[in-house]
Amino acid sequence: MKRKALYRKPLATTGSQAKKSEQTRSLILETALELFTERGYEETTMRAIADKAGVALGNTYYYFRSKEHLIQGFYDRLHELHRETCVPIIQRERTLKGRLLAVMRQILVNMEPYHQFAGVLFRSAADPHSPLNPFSSESEAVRKESVEWFAEVLKGTRVPADLETELPELLWLYHMGIVLFWIHDRSAKQVKTRRLMELTVEIITRLISIASLPLMRPLRKSAIELLTTLRQDVA
Amino acid sequence: MKRKALYRKPLATTGSQAKKSEQTRSLILETALELFTERGYEETTMRAIADKAGVALGNTYYYFRSKEHLIQGFYDRLHELHRETCVPIIQRERTLKGRLLAVMRQILVNMEPYHQFAGVLFRSAADPHSPLNPFSSESEAVRKESVEWFAEVLKGTRVPADLETELPELLWLYHMGIVLFWIHDRSAKQVKTRRLMELTVEIITRLISIASLPLMRPLRKSAIELLTTLRQDVA
DNA sequence: GTCTATAACCGGATAGAC
DNA sequence: GTCTATCCGGTTATAGAC
């Protein structure tokens, strides 16, 4: 299994020392991800990871507080991959629909290799007490950046003014919903998720474009009130 | 902590024998639920449950294949409580909005005592490989019944014909979304979820009532296509 | 078929020495 | 930072009693 080496988190320490520990950390994470994708999360023991990486069991716990935190490492990498691939798309595509479609498509492409063990990822993400929970403070940085991308997706397109502040967060939430469906998707190469995504992007762009009509005003009001309530909890 | 004794699953065996084993099963589940709500799921050991229930450790495994399966027991009870409380509501309330509001309110009331350990419940539910996953075959019976209640909620109200078959499943999905939010809701007595629910019920009933307008036809078409795709995966 | 008692296994997590 | 030893708890196995 080939993977781009995306993980690097240059710490503010002096040169080679920091580099060494960063290498060990990276080695452990790399090994863990390999084993996870090979034989699954539950089937991979911490001892096996330590063995294959050639370090002591205790050492893996020095770098990752728990087995779950290894998933957090995966999460971070995936996020970085999303950034590298999605930002150019936003610059290239000029319409809302074109951008949203291309970005969502790219996200699905990026995640595809990890479909088999993504269930575990979400299992943790769903637990309100887990650091992996996308609403948790630990995930705040990543979440904020993602929401900003969706703000970029909207930039320069026609959107009702009162919706403008709420929409990026809503699109992020939508994207989480698609990921949730993807995790449960058993169809070959997750074609169903792709179809679902294409249809919902169609609906969303339509909804946004008719949202300005006077007929829709009371509905839009309710929706905005709703989003304000929702946001208080997310932020 | 008081709780209605709702669990009974009369097996097709002869009288007192079956009753006895059913009592033991019930006792174990009851004890487990008590400890879970008292001190949390992770903090409750299988040994502690066995001790407090006054049975041998092995016996708890005789009745419940794993610690997770105890949650399934909780799930079943909650569902039965929902049935007992929601069916009368549907008979009493006559409008769509009134029914949906009252049913959703009741569901939140029923769940309230379990908010603290509900996270774990959902943690398992989110795993596509877990039997607790609401889309799994093990959960099919419960899911089907829930969807039927939502069909009852719609019965006798004005709904566009082409949406009629899809809406019950969609409302069930909506209710799952509310539960998801509720799990993550940290506000006192989960008032935020309640507010969110009230606002979304408002939006949903509005959406349904304007869905028949000619202007909305293309949007409704897309939505129905989407739901058909979605259903193939759920069913 | 229902239940007890006890020991053992396995793997995630921790403590503390170097 | 790295290791070894140990703990802890979910789970399994066994052997026997009613």
For A188-209, what is each residue's pLDDT tens digit? 999 999 999 999 999 999 989 8
The CA-based diameter of chain B, rounded to the nearest angstrom, is: 67
Predicted local confidence at residue B132, as pLDDT: 79
Which of the 8 DSSP states describes residue B212? Answer: T
Task: Provide the positions of strand C that have an atom within 7 A of a protein CB.
Answer: 1-7, 10-16
What Å value separates CA B56 and C1' C7?
Answer: 14
**Per mean pLDDT, which range of A121-130, B90-99, B134-143 is the poorest?**
A121-130
Question: CA-CA distances (angstroms) from residue B139 to A33, A39, A78?
Answer: 31, 27, 32
* Per-residue pLDDT band at A46 (split at 50, 70, 90): very high
Determine the 3-state secondary structure of B178 from DSSP: helix
Predicted local confidence at residue B234, as pLDDT: 52
pLDDT digits (tens, 9 = 90+) for A168-179: 988 998 999 899
Task: Provide the positions of strand D that have an atom within 7 A of a protein CB.
Answer: 1-5, 8-15
pTM of the model: 0.83
Interchain contact A40–B (C-beta under 8 A):
no
Interchain contact A97–B (C-beta under 8 A):
no
Q: How many CB atoms lie within 10 A of CB A227?
A: 20
> What percent of chain A is modeled with pLDDT above 90?
52
